[in-house]
Amino acid sequence: MLIETVNMCDVDQLISLFHFVMHIGDHLGEYGTLAYAILSIIIFTETAFVVFPFLPGDTLLFAAGAFCATGQLSLVLLNILIISSAVLGNTVNFWIGKYLVDRIDITKAKWIDQTALEKTHLFFEKHGGKTIILARFVPLVRSFAPFVAGVSHMDHRKFQTFNVIGAILWSGILTVCGYFFGNLPFIRDNLNQIVLIGALAAIVPTIIAGLWRFIQPLFNKNP
C-alpha cells in the first residue's frame, strides 16, 4: 500500500512537472532573470536529446519575445542565450549520433540496411545544410535532424556552419515576431493553434512529396 502511494506521488509530480514545462511560456515574467536560465535549459534539452522532441521550443521563443516587448526581458540577451543553447544542443546531439555509430560500427551490422545508410550519408552531404536549417522550424524533426546528421557522418565543419545559421534564424525570427505580435489578444489567446498550423504547413508538403516519390513509379509502369 505504501509503495502504491509513493508511486502515485511520483506520477503526480511528473505530471505536475510536465504541465509546468509545457505552460511555462505563460508565466515567464514571474521568474525575472531566472527566466533566461529556464529558457536556455529547455531549448538545449529539446535540441540535444532525441527523447525530448515534445518540449515547446517554438511557443517558448515566441512568448519570450512578447515578454521582451513589455520590458520584462532583454531581446538581445535572450537571443544570445537561446542561440548559444540551440547551437550547443545540436552539437551534442550530432556527436551522440556519431559516437553511437562509431561505437556500434553499424557499417558491419547485418540488421542495418547499408544501402539506406549510404543514401542517408550522401543526402546529408548534398542537402544536409538546408535540412539542418529548415529542421529548426519543424517540431519533432528539430530534435532528430542533428542526430541523423551525426549518424550519417555529415562533415562536422559544414554541420556547424548551418547549425549556427539555423539557430540565428530560428531564434531571431520567432522572438522578433513575438516582440511585435505576441501581445495582440488574438495571437496570445491562440498561440498553440497558430504554431500547430505553422508546423503542419511545414511538415505536410514534405510528407506529400515523399509519398508521391514513393507511389510515382506505380503510375509509370507500363501496362
DSSP the chain: -HHHHHHHHHHHHHHHHHHHHHTGGGSGGGGTTHHHHHHHHHHHHHHH-TT-TTS-HHHHHHHHHHHHHTTSS-HHHHHHHHHHHHHHHHHHHHHHHHHHHHHHTGGG-TTS-HHHHHHHHHHHHHHHHHHHHHHTTSTTHHHHHHHHHHHTT--HHHHHHHHHHHHHHHHHHHHHHHHHHTTSHHHHHTHHHHHHHHHHHHHHHHHHHHHHHHHHHHHHS--
Does residue 9 belong to any structural domain of this protein?
yes
Does residue 217 belong to any structural domain of this protein?
no
Which domain range does residue 35 map to? 2-211
Most confident of 55-59, 114-118, 171-175: 171-175
**Domain count along the chain:** 1
pLDDT band at 170 (very low <50, low <70, confident <90, very high): very high
Does residue 223 belong to any structural domain of this protein?
no
Does residue 106 belong to any structural domain of this protein?
yes
Q: Across the chain, what does the average pLDDT equal?
A: 75
Does residue 196 belong to any structural domain of this protein?
yes
Does residue 59 belong to any structural domain of this protein?
yes
pLDDT at 215: 53
Using the predicted structure, report yes or no on whether residue 2 has a pLDDT greater than 50.
no
pLDDT at 110: 54
pTM: 0.74
Using the predicted structure, report yes or no on whether residue 88 has a pLDDT greater than 90.
yes
Does residue 218 belong to any structural domain of this protein?
no
